[in-house]
Structure 1
Amino acid sequence: MISAAAFMLLATTVLAACGTTKPAQAPATTGAAATTAAKAGTEKMYIPVISKGFQHQFWQAVKLGAEKAAKEFNVEITFEGPETEQQVDKQIEMLQAALGKKPAAIAFAALDSKAASPLLEKAKTSKIPVVGFDSGVDSDIPVTTAATDNKAAAALAADKMAELIGKEGEIAVVAHDQTSRTGVDRRDGFTNRIKEKYPNIKIVDTQYSGDQLKATDLTKAILQAHPNVKGIFGTNEGAAIGVINGVTESKKDGKVVIVGYDSGKLQKDAIRSGKMAGAITQDPIGIGYWAVKASVQAVKGETVPKSIDTGFHWYDKTNIDSAEIKPLLYD
């Protein structure tokens, strides 16, 4: 019995040893084969595109341009932004999350350049190129910025406003914000041109709307406080639509000249109906396209200009359907 038990113990030990034997390992991949394998896992560079929002059709047009460039240059992008252009904290969270993914580059349209500054410094330290777009970033960190020359565009809006009101009288400005580069440049481009060139025009009020509903209320308040206002400039899609609504609700259609910025169905309808005199259009598809293209160029070490002017145009009911303007407008 002792011999039988010893035999059983020996057999169990041998079987256990066989069960734990590791399979043979394949030899490590080295040299050119290793490089090829590494590239296979990272075929496409990743570029997060962080916009200022999603609530306006403008951003959807920018997204189309970014996607067009991503396809052309065979890169992976994500396009994101907060629900409204007042959610600075949320945009900063998105920027932080994007940095955590160690992207090849970042395209960024800052709601608040100062708030974004620490994270942009982090990107610089990590050697991640930053490309500004639309409003860009108030910083030397971005390698380039793809944007409209907003000061020049707003100055053109001021010239059109002056012509439409006979170069004299009271006007007002409803700006979309006072922290982004676009908000500041459009406000200053418009007001500086009026002050420099049209001494008989007085800007009696400048308000900051944030969104369409607030712009409506602000417009009504402006018209109540300044009943002689002859014109109002809305500095983006939401502000312009709010001005249109505010003028209509104040029963002043046809009595106040409205000049806007950007496009969108409601603005186009207002121009066709005569409620809005005209507006400045950017090239949002071009902005998105160049944001991604310049990011790819920066990653590859190619030279990019410090700024990329994507252009602007004035449109009204005389040219809204022209071959030059129609492709730049969106619904």
Structure 2
Amino acid sequence: MKKILLMVVLVISVFALAANYRIGLSLSTLNNPFFVTLRDGAQDMANKLGVELIVADAQDNPAKQLSDIEDFIQQRLDLIIINPTDSDAIVTAVEEANDAFIPVITVDRASNGGLVVCHIASDNVAGGRMAGELIASLLNGEGNVVELEGIVGTSAARDRGAGFEEAIANYPGIKLVAKQTANFNRAEGLTVMENILEAHPDIDAVFAQNDEMALGAIEAIKSAGLLDKIIVVGFDAIDDAVAAVEKGEMTATIAQQPYKMGELAVQKAFEYLSTQTIYIPVDLKLVMQE
């Protein structure tokens, strides 16, 4: 009976301690459904673990993100999760958190400096490579291709572009005729694509480094009457993009799991605060005589 009571007290103590944890989540933008889903996953996990999650929307503004994180530091939060607007610009914020002895976790996009205890992201290079191989296959290794780039300076834009360009480099018949930034934004994707179509009317495929830009590009392609002639591949698999694929307007999108990213970021934050370590399980393999 005493052992049972002791276990109950320990469980209550753990949850009481968890309830005192205050974690900041600084998101690059909540104007993109991908990051809304990431926030939802983080919030649900915070609710499950009994920790307080404080969310800030940087509105794609590095200066605002720095200010938001400085506010987190002033509040003496236990840990800060950052989805950087810009991988270079965020370094100052990470270093300020380091100086205040507040641990930092990055999610989806990395920081190019400062001390980060954990980074949670998809393999963006592999995703870009996947898009490149798909386009090369659909074009039978020949054609003119456009790449719509995300926010310059983000690790996601850099890595997706690297994977894509690495893949198409294996096909001498494929030419990258234009590469322009549209800042992961749907409206900019539309405008940039309109301009590219004027300069290059003989485009065969478009790779957009996220779905927002892809959806904007599709509107421009529709207006030009070329929807049935141009392959469009996006990245993220947000709801609007999946619907566009189902309608036959978008050829494909590379699926990520933003909800899972948000969940995992908070889970690892809690784990680190509770144990000062982060547990990364590796699958086991059974070896036996055949």
TM surpasses 0.5: yes
Contact 1:146 1:307 in 2 (8 A): no
Tell whether the 8 Å contact from 2:150 to 2:181 is kept in structure 1 after alignment: yes
Match of 1:287 in 2: 261
Task: Assess if the C-alpha contact under 8 Å between 1:297 and 1:303 holds in 2.
Answer: yes
Structure 1 partner of 2:49: 73
* 2:241 aligned with 1:267: yes
Aligned to 1:259, the other structure's residue is in SS state: strand
1:201 aligns with 2:174: yes
* Residue in structure 2 matched with residue 253 of structure 1 by the alignment: 227
Q: Contact 1:267–1:276 at 8 Å: present in 2 too?
A: yes
Change (3 A) 1:229 1:284: same
Question: 1:182-193 to 2 correspondence within 5 Å?
Answer: 182-193=156-167
How does 1:166-245 map onto structure 2 within 5 Å? 166-195=140-169, 197-210=170-183, 211-245=185-219
**How has the CA–CA distance of structure 1 residues 40 and 70 changed in structure 2, closer, same or farther, with 3 Å as cutoff?**
closer
Q: Give the Å deviation of 1:140.
A: 5.0
Name 1:313's counterpart in structure 2.
none
* Cα deviation code 1:129-153 (max 9, x no counterpart): 1001011222251111111110111
Q: Does the Cα contact within 8 Å between 2:58 and 2:85 map onto a contact in 1?
A: no
Report the Cα offset of residue 111 of structure 1: 1.3
- The AA in structure 1 aligned to 2:173 is N
Cα separation, partners in 2 of 1:41 and 1:182, compared to 1, 3 Å: closer
- Alignment pair present for 1:148 and 2:96: no
- Contiguous gaps of at least 5 residues in structure 2: 1-14, 283-290
For 1:247, the aligned partner's letter is I
Structure 1 residue 59 corresponds to structure 2 residue 35 = yes
Which residue does the alignment assign to 1:11?
none
Contact 1:48 1:107 (8 Å CA) reproduced = yes
In structure 1, C-alpha distance between the alignment counterparts of 2:121 and 2:51, rounded to whole Å: 21
The farther-off stretch of 294-303 and 73-82 is 294-303
Q: Secondary structure at the match of 2:43?
A: helix
State the alpha-carbon separation in 2 of the partners of residues 307 and 78 from structure 1: 28
Q: CA deviation at 1:43?
A: 4.0
Larger deviation, residues 94-103 vs 114-123: 114-123
**CA deviation after TM superposition for structure 1 residue 229, in Å:** 1.2
With over 3 angstroms needed to count, the CA separation of the structure-2 counterparts of 1:186 and 1:41, relative to structure 1, is: closer
- Following TM superposition, by how much is the alpha carbon of 1:115 offset from its aligned partner in structure 2, in angstroms? 2.1
> Which residue in the other structure is 1:48 paired with?
24
**Any conservation in 2 of the 1:82–1:90 contact (CA below 8 Å)?**
yes
Distance 1:138 1:306, change over 3 A: farther
Counterpart Cα distance in 1 of 2:74 and 2:262? 23
Unaligned runs of 5+ in 1: 1-38, 309-331
- Consecutive aligned runs of 4 or more in structure 1 exceeding 6 Å deviation: 39-42, 305-308
Q: Secondary structure at the match of 2:164?
A: helix
2:180 alignment partner, SS class: strand
Whether contact under 8 Å (2:43, 2:53) holds in the other structure is yes
CA RMSD of aligned residues (A): 2.1
